Every structure is written in structure tokens, then in C-alpha cells.
Structure 1
Amino acid sequence: MQDDVQTGPQAFDLGKVWNNRFFGLGSAFFTARAPTALRDPYWVARSQSMARELGLQDNWWQSQEALEAFSGNRPLAGSQPLASVYSGHQFGVWAGQLGDGRAILLGELETRDGQSLELQLKGSGLTPYSRMGDGRAVLRSSIREFLCSEAMHALGIPTTRALCITGSDQPIRRETIETAAVVARTAPSFIRFGHFEHFSHNQQHDDLQKLTDYVIDRFYPECRDAANPAAALLAAVTHRTAKLMADWQAVGFCHGVMNTDNMSILGLTVDYGPFQFLDGFDPDHIPNHSDTSGRYSYKRQPQVAYWNLFALGQALLPLIGEPDDAMAALEPYKSLFPAALDRRMAAKLGFADSSEGVKTLVNDLLALMASERTDYPIFWRRWAQHLDGAPADMVLDLFHDRPAANTLLQQLQDPDQKFGQSPSAALALQSNPSVILRNHLAEQAIALANQKDFSMIQQLLDVLENPFEDHPDHATWSGFPPDWASSIQISCSS
């Protein structure tokens, strides 16, 4: 059922001053463009936790003004809407000019804790960068992005956030006829590697310098006093990206379209399209059925991230100067990523620190899981529950080769002798979520939403906002996926 919309005079009031600092960079960076109105909009979903960060009152969504504003139908006073231009490599091939083809940046607001967040409407109509697209987003993809943005945030993984979805019965053609939706999403900045590639490729070095100075001054002030600020920026982005890849790999997240225009300069997860969390553990899993070469498979994500960082380094080379300085900024990735992943995997086992013994145990476990396609999130959650006192059989039952699994579990009988430390059940439980946004859960919520029943979206959100807790009322959401889940195909239009 749709929520009733009220018109109380104080129901919706951002009460903030817009900064619009990206707008201040000048016309080379964007085209001023207002959103296109969405026909007869209605509420689909909202994140109250994100709303509170923006300082919105709890009943903000009951205002007709809010509904119209976040559908792109009514301008927000003080905003300066725009679509930014960028370029990039797509599937490893230079694609030339791209840009915000279906997203309008409204501007920048301060949160209640004094941080600045940009507010963007995705699916808000044609822009000069839409190319062959229609500038719209469909309900299906909007639900997936909304839920996964908030789920990743709750998992502690750097990400863009989502405030709300508004929908419309306006027809949109993808593989079939679907309905339109708009996601209001936030981030400290939506600047991508592709923004730097755009100005570098077009020999606009003054604008490249301007963009670099803007990013350093706003987000990486520690780089300003470096001998080579552009190289220091590349090194800082390398560090954040390495940590992000470790987060993705540890939780079993597959992005699906790791093009350079989908890589955040702040090390955030951005642009949720054909993403997927692993069900059965398969290092070769490809979440995007459009990715026929498997470039963006789960196991290749860390390597692709380095490739994308190299492309960013090339884009910054006119400012860095010497290629050796760019390569020196990139080199730490090769140690930062594995070290970060080792720490995260050790924590999943319950160990505060990694060690050679812990790494060996992790590798042995993953090899066994890969050979049997063991359910990745269920294994790790049961492992944590076993450390917390649950019987070992609940872990062993996941494997056909029980003796091999039992041999690995037996190593925990005297962990101090083998690993020099004892595993912590509390750490394991806080490192292995009870519930994640599996594809089949999103599909079930989408199917109901297509019938104008949005209740499962909000229920899923409530659970995903507390992923490390058990949820007895929704126990099936932590269980095995149904057989039909393996036939779900996710494409770039998802």
C-alpha cells in the first residue's frame, strides 16, 4: 500500500544552506540542468536513518512538497541542479565522453554533525550526457540500489547512501516495459576517476589542475603540503581503494561493472547495477550476464581496481610529472590490499590479528568451499555461532566432505598453540553478517513492489540496517536461497 501524503507546513524543511561547491568549479565541469518531472509520483521507500543525518524531521516524508522535490518535480530553494561531465574506460576500452546520463546533482548540504553531503536524483530525466538513453531509472534497479546502499553502510563498507525512492506508473522500456522511479542518493562527493580522465584526455590541463585542487582541499588536505600534491592524492586514493576491495572480497560482494567511471575518488562503492553478494562460493562468479569475458568476476575485482588506479595515474600524469612518481604512488596497493584482506578474513575467523597460520587456515577453508560451492554467508555465520557454543555439526553439515571440514575445525581445539591467539566469538559474530541482500530477496521485494506493495522493501531495510543481529521474525532471509535464485540474471540495466 502507498503511504498517505500530507501537507503539514512543517513536515518537510531541510533548514539548510546549500553550498554548491561543485557548481562553483565552472561550466567546463557540468551542464546546468533541472530534473524532468516524474508523472504522478508516489512514495516507494525511504531511509529514516539517512533522513536524520540530513536533519529532516521524522515526518518529513508526509509532505507533498517532499514527494514533489525528491521526484524532481519541484526545485528546492537554494539548489543549483547540474549534470557533470566525465569520461572513462568501460570493460577496459576507452569509451570517450560519458557523464551523468540520468542523474542530476542538486547541490551540497550539511548534515547534523557538520559533514557535507551532496544530494543527487538518479533517474531524473535526460541530460546532455544521456547518449542513447532516456535518462530514467526503472523501479527494479532503483529498489536494488536503495537497499544495497543502505545495506553496505550498515556493514561498515564505504558507500554512497540512499534517502528515498519515488515511483510512477510512467512506462519505461528496458528489456521489457517497466515503470519509472527516482532514487535520491547522497555522498560527500560523486567525483569519479573518469572526471580526471576526461580533462586529461582532452588536454584541459588547467581544468585538471582545478579539479585536483578541489578534491585535495575538500577531501585530502594532508596532500596539500606534499612535495608532489597530485602524486600524494594518487597514493591516498590507492590506499582507500585497496581497503574498499578488501571489504568487498571479505563480504563476498561483486560489483559487476567496475569501469573507471564507476570508481569513486573517495573510495566509495558507487553505482549499484548488476551487483551481487555470493551465494555458493565461486571465485569465478560473474554477476553481470552482459560481461561475457568475465572481466569483472569476483576474483578479478582486486586486479581490476589496480588497473583502474593505473588509469587514474595516467590521467594525473600531466600534474605529477614523472611516470616513476606515479608508479611509486600506485605501488603500495600490492601490499595494502592483501594485508587489509588478511585482517578482514582473520576477523571472520574470530582472530584479532592475522598470521601465517591464520592465512593458511583461511586459504584451506576457501579452497574447500570453492570445491563444493558452499554457501558463503551461511558458512561464515555458522562458524561464528560455533565459536559461540553452537555444535560443530551445524558447520560440518554444509560440506559433502565432512572429514576434510572436520580436520579444519579441529585446528581450533588448541588455537593458542597453532595460531598464538584464541578466536573471539564476539569478533566473529560482528564480522559475519546474519543477513545480506541476496539477489532472491531483492527479487521478491521487486515482485511485490510491481504490485504496489512496498512493505517488503521497508522490512528488508529494517533488517539490513542491523546485519549482525539475528532476526527470528525473518529467519528465512538468513537461510539458503531457493533453487530459482541461481537462474536470476542481472544486467547493466538492473
Structure 2
Amino acid sequence: MPTPLPAPHFIAASQPAAALIGLTVEDLARPDFVEVFTGNKVAPRSQPLAAVYSGHQFGVWAGQLGDGRAITLGDIATPTGPMEIQLKGAGRTPYSRMGDGRAVLRSSIREFLCSEAMAALGIPTTRALSLTGSPQGIARETLETAAVVARMAPTFVRFGSFEHWASQGREDELRTLADYVIGQFYPELAGEANPYAALLAEVTRRTARMIAHWQAVGFMHGVMNTDNMSILGLTLDYGPFGFMEAFDARHICNHTDQGGRYSYANQVPVGHWNCYALGNALLPLIGEPEVAEEALAVYRPEFGHQMDILMHGKLGLQSTQDGDAKLFEDTIELLQANHADFTLFFRLLGDLQVDAPGQDEPLRDLFIDRASFDAWAAIYRTRLRSEHSVDATRRAAMNLVNPKYILRNYLAQTAIEQAQNGDFSGVHKLLAVLEHPFDEQPDNAAYAELPPDWAAHLEVSCSS
């Protein structure tokens, strides 16, 4: 059961997420909703639960884990199927271990904003319904205040949910879980000759697609442990995440990850590794290792296919031609060599005119080595001419896939510091901006600027 917090108060809610379950922001701001979504009261038909799971953390088997501060209230029927509601930070559970079961305002704001930012970017993700706070002190590196995020997903079952039963040799429970997931979320697989191998293959495909979308917008999860991997291929558990700014494929967004296991470049192979961990867990049901290997073999082709589609879109290319893969590689190498801002580069690229070389500012200004940009731009223009690309048409298409607004760390930090002083207007404003990441929003152009110098010193860790 949730543990009540003193004097809970409403901070924010997501209108698009609320609409999924037939509510409004005004509903969620009502005192009775605040009580329920903080965990101070339990709704009449709710049967709260915390789930057990195990997993690999930073590549090392960690044994039993579980919902240490997440409590699922139940699910709500929606036109697209059941949606579970879960409170993060609602108090201790049987799986809290040495933790207090709480979440602090700082990390809760980050999870709330990023969940909805990712949804607006079109990336598979759990959703954030509401954010509430309390003056209750929570001890981390310093004394902070408590907050609760009400988040939603069709299910919060993870790779680690399967690893838990497999590691204990409890095949009956493993089969029960797999049959539940197939029956509820992959019913089309039930008739397959080997439904468990089919499940592994489909989850592997979804994971590959999700990570391709991460790479395409420069999102870094930060803690890709197997217990943070959704069985539905959703982005799950927003902790020390980050969006790429000055491009560096080796960038590590999690200060705790000193070995760089979860760097931007490593997300692709780690996603594959995690699918192998799921395959090992499902092996007692699948049977032959070769069958599991065949299911897992879909990862790299699926990732490559998705990245090809996404990169064609980001560069405004309408056709596929020989040499495109080389162009994509050269683009990333150019960004790497100059540490150009990832988001601004692709957004400003839409303004490039095919027949106006020498008029590429402010895009060109992102590069230290202007000559290298000019050389790349000449090749890019040749490629655009080969398909008779029209500037205005291409710009409109590129602006639909290259966001102008992302949740930069310094924007989140500014909103957090305001909120810690009792002013939640920064959270509301940032949420409103991030709900429309592809729009120009002239009044909010400051939210799309390069980060200030002080932002380089921000560090995000697993402490939350």
C-alpha cells in the first residue's frame, strides 16, 4: 500500500496523457485526485501492488530487485486497451531493500517532462499523467523534498520480470508470465508454432526500433539495465537520461556510469545484449538455443532498416540511392569532428538551399572547421539535385521529423530550481513547449538556443 505524504500539492499534469484515460488537467488538480495520485488515499476499486523482478545492472547479475518505490494502482479501460497507473515515489514496498521508497522533486520533474517530451517526439514511451509534491524532507546528497509521478503504460513488465523466474528455475511461473504477456499484448503470436520464440523475436524487433528512434533524436537513456527494459519496447524508467548537444558518440549522460557502458554509441549493442538476456530467460520455454538465436537475429537488420528510414527523413531525402549509407556516415563523422549541436544541425539543415552555396549561415556557424562543412555540403547538394529536391517541400518535410525543441539539461535544471523555490511556472512552460517539439513557436525560440556555458558543468547520476 502507498504511504501517505504530508500536505500533498498539485504541481502539473499532462493534458495529452490525461486524455488517454478520459481525464483533464483540471480533474487531476482537484484535491481528491491529488490525494489518490500521491498515494494518500486508495480509490475504491484499486488493489495496489508492487512487482518483483531481477536483472543485470551495468552488465552484472544483480539478483532480485523489484518495485522499490513504484506502486501500481491498477488499470483503466481505454479505447486502445487497458492502461496501468503506477505511482513512483509513493513509499516503501517489500522490494525497497535499503531505500526509503521515495522520489525527490528534482528527478520527478525530469521524468515527468521527459516522458511527455518523448511521446511528443513520436518515440515509444511510458507516459506521465501527473506530478504532485510534498514538503516532506527526503535525504539524498542533500535534504530535498518529496514528489510523486503518476505514470502510465499498458504494462510495466520488464525483461527482468522474466529473468527473475528463470534464474530461480521456476518454469511454471515463467510460463504463466509469458502466457499473460502474449495473451494480453501479443495475441497474434498465440497461434505460432513456438509462441515463446515469436515473442522473443517481436520484443527484439520493438527494442531495435525504439533504440533507432533514440539514436535519431540523440536521446541517451543512461541506465539500460535489463530491469529497465520494457517487454513492449517502450522507453521505461527515466533516471540519468540526456539529449545529445555538442555531438560526441562517446558521450556518457550518467555520471555514475564511469565505464561508459551506456554511452550514446553503446546503446545499440547494449540493446542487443539485453535482448540476449531476455532470450536466455525464455530459453526454458523456447527449447532449442538455435531457435532463440534465430529470434534474436532480427535485431541488427531491424535496427539498420529503421535507422536508414530515419536518416533519409532527417536529411530530407525522398529516394534511396547508392552512396546514401556513406553520406550518413560522413554526416555523423562531420558532427563528431566538430562537436556540432546535434539538434540544431538537423533543424537548421532544413533551411539549406540547393542552389545557394555560400549562404549557409547560421548552419555553417555550428562548425569549427568551416571548410569541412563546405565540402560535406557540396556533396549533400549534389545528392539533393539528383532527386530534383525542392527547397520548400524538403524543408517542410524535414521540420516534421527534426525537432526544434528537446529537453536540454539546462532547461530542466532551470525549471527544477524554480520549482524548488515554490514556483512551478517553469515546469508548466517547458511542458507546453515540449508538447510541440516540431513547431516553430516564435515566442519560445529561446528554448531552442545553444546551452549556456554553465550547462557544461551539469551532472546527472542515479541518485533520485
TM over 0.5: yes
Of residues 82, 103, 124, the one that matches 2:49 is 82
Question: How much does 1:332 deviate?
Answer: 1.3
Kindly indicate whether residue 330 of structure 2 is the aligned counterpart of residue 364 of structure 1: yes
Question: How much does 1:117 deviate?
Answer: 0.5
Residue deviations 1:165-188 (CA, integer Å, cap 9, x gap):
110110001111110000000001
**Which residue is equivalent to 1:453?**
423
**Which residue is equivalent to 2:280?**
314
**Which residue is equivalent to 2:68?**
101
**Which residue is equivalent to 2:413?**
443
Kindly indicate whether residue 179 of structure 2 is the aligned counterpart of residue 213 of structure 1: yes
**Which residue is equivalent to 2:312?**
346
Report the more deviating stretch, 160-169 or 113-122: 113-122
Question: How much does 1:470 deviate?
Answer: 1.1
**Which aligned pairs between 1:260-299 and structure 2 lie closer than 5 A?**
260-299=226-265
Of residues 378, 392, 406, the one that matches 2:374 is 406
Of residues 157, 165, 168, the one that matches 1:191 is 157
Of residues 395, 403, 407, the one that matches 1:433 is 403
**Which aligned pairs between 1:115-264 and structure 2 lie closer than 5 A?**
115-264=81-230
Residue deviations 1:434-465 (CA, integer Å, cap 9, x gap):
11000000000000000010001111111100
Q: 1:430 is aligned with what amino acid?
A: L
Question: C-alpha distance in 2, partners of 1:191/1:384?
Answer: 40
Question: How much does 1:262 deviate?
Answer: 0.2
**Which residue is equivalent to 1:3?**
none
Count of residue pairs brought into register by the alignment: 460
Question: How much does 1:352 deviate?
Answer: 3.3
- Is the 2:399–2:438 Cα contact (8 Å) retained in structure 1? yes
Specify whether residues 418 and 114 from structure 1 end up closer, same or farther in structure 2 by C-alpha distance, changes over 3 A only.
closer
- Is the 2:10–2:29 Cα contact (8 Å) retained in structure 1? no
SS of equivalent to 1:84 = coil
**Which residue is equivalent to 1:466?**
436
- Is the 2:14–2:25 Cα contact (8 Å) retained in structure 1? no
Kindly indicate whether residue 449 of structure 2 is the aligned counterpart of residue 479 of structure 1: yes
SS of equivalent to 2:11 = strand
- Is the 2:53–2:164 Cα contact (8 Å) retained in structure 1? yes
Question: C-alpha distance in 1, partners of 2:318/2:219?
Answer: 22
Question: C-alpha distance in 2, partners of 1:471/1:420?
Answer: 30
SS of equivalent to 2:107 = helix
Report the more deviating stretch, 261-270 or 358-367: 358-367
**Which residue is equivalent to 2:22?**
55
Question: C-alpha distance in 2, partners of 1:314/1:100?
Answer: 22
Report the more deviating stretch, 207-216 or 347-356: 347-356
Report the more deviating stretch, 347-356 or 99-108: 347-356
Question: C-alpha distance in 2, partners of 1:465/1:335?
Answer: 32
Specify whether residues 345 and 387 from structure 1 end up closer, same or farther in structure 2 by C-alpha distance, changes over 3 A only.
farther
Report the more deviating stretch, 377-386 or 180-189: 377-386
Question: How much does 1:353 deviate?
Answer: 4.4
**Which residue is equivalent to 1:45?**
12
Of residues 347, 363, 367, the one that matches 1:381 is 347
Question: How much does 1:376 deviate?
Answer: 0.7
Question: C-alpha distance in 1, partners of 2:323/2:74?
Answer: 50
Question: How much does 1:214 deviate?
Answer: 0.5
Question: C-alpha distance in 1, partners of 2:385/2:360?
Answer: 21
Of residues 35, 57, 61, the one that matches 2:2 is 35
**Which residue is equivalent to 1:17?**
none
Q: 1:184 is aligned with what amino acid?
A: A
TM-score by length of structure 2 reads 0.96
- Is the 2:13–2:25 Cα contact (8 Å) retained in structure 1? no
**Which residue is equivalent to 1:415?**
383
Question: How much does 1:385 deviate?
Answer: 2.5
Question: How much does 1:404 deviate?
Answer: 1.6
Question: How much does 1:222 deviate?
Answer: 1.6
- Is the 1:342–1:354 Cα contact (8 Å) retained in structure 2? no
Question: How much does 1:420 deviate?
Answer: 8.2
Question: How much does 1:401 deviate?
Answer: 1.6
Question: C-alpha distance in 2, partners of 1:365/1:314?
Answer: 37
Question: How much does 1:342 deviate?
Answer: 1.6
Question: C-alpha distance in 2, partners of 1:257/1:417?
Answer: 42
- Is the 1:346–1:359 Cα contact (8 Å) retained in structure 2? no
Residue ranges of structure 1 left out of the alignment (5+ in a row):
1-33
Question: C-alpha distance in 1, partners of 2:159/2:63?
Answer: 13
Residue deviations 1:219-276 (CA, integer Å, cap 9, x gap):
1112111111100000000110010010000100000000000000000000000000
- Is the 1:47–1:164 Cα contact (8 Å) retained in structure 2? yes
Question: How much does 1:414 deviate?
Answer: 3.9
**Identical amino acids, percent of aligned pairs:** 53
- Is the 2:240–2:254 Cα contact (8 Å) retained in structure 1? yes
Question: How much does 1:339 deviate?
Answer: 1.6
Question: How much does 1:389 deviate?
Answer: 9.9
SS of equivalent to 2:86 = strand
Residue deviations 1:407-441 (CA, integer Å, cap 9, x gap):
22123434366568778222211111011000000
Question: C-alpha distance in 2, partners of 1:471/1:200?
Answer: 50
Question: C-alpha distance in 2, partners of 1:388/1:165?
Answer: 46
Question: C-alpha distance in 1, partners of 2:367/2:312?
Answer: 21
Of residues 362, 385, 394, the one that matches 1:394 is 362
Residue deviations 1:353-404 (CA, integer Å, cap 9, x gap):
4444222222112111111111111111100132599941221111122122
Question: C-alpha distance in 2, partners of 1:388/1:261?
Answer: 47
- Is the 2:91–2:102 Cα contact (8 Å) retained in structure 1? yes
Report the more deviating stretch, 260-269 or 56-65: 56-65
Question: C-alpha distance in 2, partners of 1:352/1:493?
Answer: 44
Question: C-alpha distance in 2, partners of 1:245/1:162?
Answer: 20
Specify whether residues 413 and 389 from structure 1 end up closer, same or farther in structure 2 by C-alpha distance, changes over 3 A only.
closer
- Is the 1:388–1:425 Cα contact (8 Å) retained in structure 2? no
